Each structure stands twice: as C-alpha cells, then as structure tokens.
C-alpha cells in the first residue's frame, strides 16, 4: 500500500472543505491559531512514517489527551475504574451538565469532560507528581522528550471554564471525585493543554494499534485485553456526540480534540493523526473527518 501517495491525494481532494467550520473560539488561546493549517501523519506497526503538510507542527491536543489518561488509570485501577465512570456513548455534548445530573454524578464515559475529570482525580490520588508522570508517559509513548504543556492555553481555559467548573462541583457533590475541585480542574486543563504534532500523536497511538500485545511505558502497563477494550471505548465514545457518524464514515477507533486534531488506529496495521483547526458543530475537525473518511475509502481498510 503506497500510503505516501494516498495521503498526498487526500490532501488535494479535501481542499473544497478548507474554509468550512471555525476554530474553537470559546477558548481564547485557540481562537488565535491559524485556522488554515493542515497536517497528517500515518505510522505503520512495521516502522514506516508517511506525512504531508504541517505534520511536524505542534498544536493543542485537548481531549485527545484523555486517551493517555485513560490508559494510565486503567493500568492503576484495572476493572474497578468502571465503578466511577461508564463506557457508553453519550448522545449529548461533551460538556453536558444535564446528563451528569440525571445520572447522579457518574459520567457516561471517560472521554466526556466529566469523565476526564474523574480520570484526573484518580491520577491525583494515585501519583506523587501527576503532571510530571503524565508528561513522562506521553513522552515515552511517542519517543519525544521535548513535548510539553502550554501554560497559556491551560490558563486561558481555566479563566473561561465556567461550565467545566460547574461539572467539577457537581462531581464533588456526588462524591465522584475525591480531591479539591480547584486541583482537579487545574490538572484537567493542564492535560488538555498538551502540545504534540501529528507525527508525535501517530507514534503515541501506535501501541494501541498493536492490540495483540500489551505494553509498558514509563511504569504503566496494559494487557492486550485492556488495549483491545480501550480501542472499543474509542470506537464508541471518541468523537463526542458524533461517534456514530465517525464510525459510519471512517470505521476506525480514535479520539478527537477541539484543537482540531484527530488520532485513530487501524488494528495491527497503522496509527494516523490529522490536524486542521476548523471544527464542525460537534467540535470535530471538518477536514480531519473528511481526510480519514477518504483514507479508509481509498485503502479499503477499516475495522468493518
């Protein structure tokens, strides 16, 4: 399969969508990002990399970081993790307060904002230096020691994160989180501010593509069964309330972020990351969604 040629052709074919959508302006630091950037990188489990355009430009991964937090929490807590957070598709917005209230403080899945705050709380309770250990884990996954948080982005989210603060307080009311609300929010926003390139994201997701093997990075271990189950959660819950549409159009497990990034895997073959800041109404990258749809269409490779 000539993935390099396919990615170049995809970039040309998605140009009619280049002005659709807008970046996440509700986060001031993200509103200043050039909305017309695009990058894409595919890494095979055989060690080949194929990239186009701005694949080495770092951007705010936002909710994609929740996959890494989930991996760490699953390593620490195992199946008992699911007593505090569900694994069902939400059907509502990623920051829904109504659904959390109706379901008595148990988030529907770990990729909603409420679910990710529970993950943050678990890491705060389990680790001596959660910010440093989270960063070390991601660095180990992708093999880059220069990946960092963007404090400006984290502060920007914190200063305007009134709805997230309400979610955290509701979680505390239901005793779903143990730590101080402000500490949970600070760590949550810090994780979301992580900056990576498409190449680094694709490499970081590669261990999840090889689901027949477990893995151990920076002291955190997952069995092959746990990797497989993480892929299942990504498939059903990784795209906010557009997970069904992504499964229908693309057919790969993955996770999106409001920074315009999407990371996905084709089990036992490759991982892929794409970045384009213009989002649709559901918070997913317009060109990113289209690029991945074309990838599985052109290659005839999806999990279905």
What would the two tokens of residue 84 be? 């505090």
Q: Which of 33, 61, 258, 272 is labelled catalytic?
A: 258
User: Residue 295: which domain range?
Assistant: 3-299
Report yes or no on 287 lying in a domain. Answer: yes
pLDDT of residue 253: 97
- What span, in angstroms and rounded, lies between the C-alpha atoms of 238 and 228? 14
pLDDT of residue 207: 95
Instruction: State how far Cα 13 lies from the chain centre.
Output: 25
Instruction: Give me the number of domains the chain comprises.
Output: 1
Q: Which of 52, 66, 274, 276 is labelled catalytic?
A: 66
pLDDT of residue 161: 87
What would the two tokens of residue 275 be? 């970045």
Specify whether 258 is catalytic.
yes
pLDDT of residue 96: 83
Residue owning tokens 């409420």: 114
Q: Which of 149, 188, 217, 266 is labelled catalytic?
A: 188
Specify whether 63 is catalytic.
yes
List CB contacts of 265: < 8 A, sequence separation 6 or more.
205, 206, 208, 209, 231, 234, 252, 253, 254, 271, 272
- Going by the DSSP 8-state scheme, the letter that residue 176 receives in this structure is -
- What span, in angstroms and rounded, lies between the C-alpha atoms of 170 and 207? 35
Specify whether 188 is catalytic.
yes
Report yes or no on 304 lying in a domain. Answer: no
What are the average pLDDT values for consecutive 10-residue runs of the chain, which has 304 residues? 95 95 88 93 96 96 97 96 93 84 92 96 97 97 96 91 94 96 97 97 96 87 94 94 93 96 96 97 94 96 89
- What span, in angstroms and rounded, lies between the C-alpha atoms of 241 and 52? 29
Specify whether 125 is catalytic.
no
Q: Which of 50, 149, 217, 240 is labelled catalytic?
A: 240
Q: Which of 3, 33, 60, 63 is labelled catalytic?
A: 63
The CATH code of the domain that includes 284 is: 3.40.710.10
């Amino acid at each position: 399969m000539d993935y390099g040629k396919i990615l170049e052709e995809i970039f040309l074919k998605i140009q009619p969508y280049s002005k659709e959508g807008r970046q996440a302006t509700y986060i001031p630091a993200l509103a200043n990002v050039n909305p017309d950037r695009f990058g894409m990188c595919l890494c095979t489990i055989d060690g080949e990399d194929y990239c186009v355009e701005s694949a080495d430009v770092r951007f705010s991964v936002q909710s994609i970081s929740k996959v890494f937090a989930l991996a760490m929490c699953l390593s620490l807590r195992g199946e008992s993790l699911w007593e505090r957070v569900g694994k069902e598709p939400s059907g509502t917005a990623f920051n829904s307060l109504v659904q959390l209230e109706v379901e008595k403080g148990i988030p529907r899945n770990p990729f909603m904002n409420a679910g990710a705050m529970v993950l943050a709380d678990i890491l705060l309770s389990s680790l001596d230096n959660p910010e440093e250990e989270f960063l070390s884990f991601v660095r180990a996954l992708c093999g880059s020691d220069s990946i960092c948080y963007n404090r400006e982005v984290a502060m920007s989210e914190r200063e305007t994160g009134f709805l997230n603060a309400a979610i955290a307080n509701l979680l505390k009311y239901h005793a779903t989180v143990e730590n101080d609300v402000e500490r949970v929010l600070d760590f949550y926003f810090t994780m979301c501010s992580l900056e990576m390139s498409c190449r680094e994201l694709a490499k970081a997701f590669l261990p999840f593509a090889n689901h027949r093997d477990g893995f151990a990075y920076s002291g955190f271990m997952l069995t092959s069964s746990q990797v497989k189950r993480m892929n299942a959660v990504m498939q059903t819950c990784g795209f906010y309330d557009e997970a069904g549409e992504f499964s229908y159009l693309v057919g790969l497990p993955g996770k999106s972020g409001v920074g315009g990034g999407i990371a996905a895997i084709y089990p036992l073959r490759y991982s892929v990351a794409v970045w384009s800041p213009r989002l649709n109404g559901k918070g997913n990258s317009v060109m990113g969604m289209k690029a991945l749809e074309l990838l599985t269409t052109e290659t005839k490779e999806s999990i279905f």
